[in-house]
Amino acid sequence: MDEEKKKISFIINPKSGTQSKEQVLHLLDEKLDKTKYAKEVVYTEYAGHAVEIAAQKAKEGVHAVVAIGGDGTINEIARSLVHTKTALGIIPCGSGNGLARHLQISMEPKKAIEIINEGIIDVIDYGKINDVPFFCTCGVGFDAFVSLKFAKAGRRGPLTYLEKTLLESLKYQPETYELETEDGTLKYKAFLIACGNASQYGNNAYIAPQATLTDGLLDVTILEPFTVLDVPALSFQLFNKTIDQNSRIKTFRCQTLRIHRTKPGVVHFDGDPMMMGENIDVKVIKEGLQVIIPRYAEKDSSNVLQRAQDYINGLKQINEAIVEDIAHKNKMILDKSKEQIKKLTKI
């Protein structure tokens, strides 16, 4: 009987994101369609381990490998599944969940499992930055700089990212970049250059709002130098899916892009930082990855109501993170006070 079932491997990164994975495991036991699937659960033990596990599972010919984690875990798994018959599944448990959100996969594990049960598969594009695969976004400049700071932060989540962004934006100096595409060469002084295969960084922050995963093109967003007066509009438009309408933003589409800068520095791919040289080559590979998607995913979700809901969801997440952070700090203050009282009572 088991031989008739499709084999699915669930890879869990116990360190990623902000959610507990135990609840997800309980829901898997309860909700996964056992008449259709035979499951196994594997935990990653170190950075890059998911790459090795997924590659082995693809070699074994399993039906799907499901990432239970964040964008970094998804990237590691997906890079081993490109150009194979094994599909990528996602149960989002990360800090940003950019690819899952673009694909309209629910942030609720129960609903994400229901999507896996339905088993609808689509084929999407992916990108490479200096031959490193990415599936959502990559880029240089301020967002890459912040991703490096974020990676070094002890705590994760929207508030940590917001704090790093606000602190670093006050002192970050834009750089001059030379951009070469199949259509010619241009120079820009830019705060950041983002290349979108998908539309957003995560947390419903749409840096390339018109990007799709199936058009064989990169959506390039250039944020030119701006003043503090531009920040409210840019922030609102980032979450409202209209940042491409801002006067400080330049956009274009291409299949290949060479970014030349004056010195080596950090880049990011799917939110993870990496050091690279002066020349950075970005390209899109069409129809390279099979992905399990919702049955009724909208092909175009750029209507006004959807944008408003995305913006509200983004604010809600930040608000929840602020409440969580305040509670954490209050607990630290309380614990410190208790220690002081103990010391005083011993004197």
**Beta-bridge partners for 283:** 128, 256
Query: Is residue 344 pLDDT above 90, yes or no?
Result: no
Domain boundary residue among 119, 141, 175?
119
The mean pLDDT of the chain is: 85
Q: Kindly state whether residue 276 falls inside one of the protein's structural domains.
A: yes
Q: Would 343 be classed as within a structural domain?
A: no
Is residue 136 domain-shared with residue 276, that is, in the same domain? yes
Structural domain for 79, as ranges: 2-119
Pair (281, 138) in one structural domain: yes
Q: Which residue is listed with tokens 């791919």?
A: 269
Specify whether the CB–CB gap between 293 and 128 falls below 8 A: no
155 and 31 together in one domain: no
> pLDDT over 70 for what percent of the chain?
77
**Relative orientation angle of helices 109-118 and 22-31, to the nearest 10 degrees:** 40
Tens-digit pLDDT profile for residues 101-144: 999 999 999 999 999 999 999 999 999 999 999 999 999 998 88
Lowest mean pLDDT among 145-154, 266-275, 302-311: 302-311
Percentage above 90 pLDDT, the chain: 63
Same domain, residue pair 206 and 92: no
Confidence of residue 91 (pLDDT cuts 50, 70, 90): very high
Do 158 and 277 lie in one domain? The reply is yes
Smallest Cα–Cα separation from 130: which of 265, 239, 32, 323?
Answer: 265
The verdict on residue 159 lying in a domain is: yes
DSSP one-letter string for 120-150: -EEEEEEEEETTEEESSEEEEEHHHHHHHHH
Listed in sequence order, the residues at least 6 apart from 286 whose beta carbon sits closer than 8 Å to its beta carbon are: 125, 216
**Of 95-109, 142-156, 173-187, 211-225, minimum mean pLDDT range:** 142-156
pTM of the complete model: 0.81
29 and 151 fall within a common domain? no
Helix ranges, the chain (H): 22-31, 49-60, 71-81, 98-102, 109-118, 142-152, 158-169, 231-239, 304-346
* pLDDT tens for each residue of 28-58: 999 999 999 999 999 999 989 999 999 999 9
Report pLDDT digits (tens) over 217-234.
999 999 999 888 888 898
CA distance linking residue 206 with residue 200, whole number of Å: 4
Tens digits of residue pLDDT in 225-279: 988 888 889 888 998 999 999 999 999 999 999 999 999 999 999 989 999 999 9
CATH of the domain at 77: 3.40.50.10330
* Vertex 100 angle, CA 103 and 154, to 5°: 160
Q: Residue 203 domain-assigned?
A: yes
pLDDT in the model for residue 68? 95
Asked if residue 168 and residue 52 are part of one domain, the reply reads no
Q: What's the CATH code of the domain at 148?
A: 2.60.200.40
Residue-by-residue DSSP string for 78-108? HHHHTTSSPEEEEEE-SSSBHHHHHTT--SS
Domain boundary among the residues 262, 286, 310 is at 286
For residue 157, pLDDT over 80 is answered with: no
Same domain for 9 and 92: yes
**How sure is the predictor about 302, in pLDDT bands with cuts at 50, 70 and 90?**
very low
Q: Which two tokens stand for residue 83?
A: 């150009």
**Per-residue confidence (pLDDT) for residue 109, from 0 to 100:** 95
Mean pLDDT of 317-328: 52
Are 301 and 142 within 8 A, CB to CB?
A: no
User: What was the pLDDT predicted at 15?
Assistant: 73
Q: Is 335 a member of any domain? A: no
pLDDT mean over 70-85: 95
One domain for residues 150 and 248: yes
Number of domains in the chain: 2
Please indicate, yes or no, if residue 52 is contained in any of the structural domains: yes
Last residue of a domain, one of 286, 303, 328: 286
Q: Quick check: 337 pLDDT over 80?
A: no
Residue 308 maps to a domain: no
182 and 100 in a single domain? The answer is no
At residue 215, does pLDDT exceed 70? yes
d(CA 257, CA 197): 13
The answer to whether residues 97 and 176 belong to one domain is no
Q: Are residues 49 and 148 in the same domain?
A: no
pLDDT for res 87: 98
Cα separation of 165 and 163, whole Å?
5
Q: Which of 10-19, 61-70, 130-139, 160-169 has the lowest mean pLDDT?
A: 160-169
Within-domain flag for 318:
no
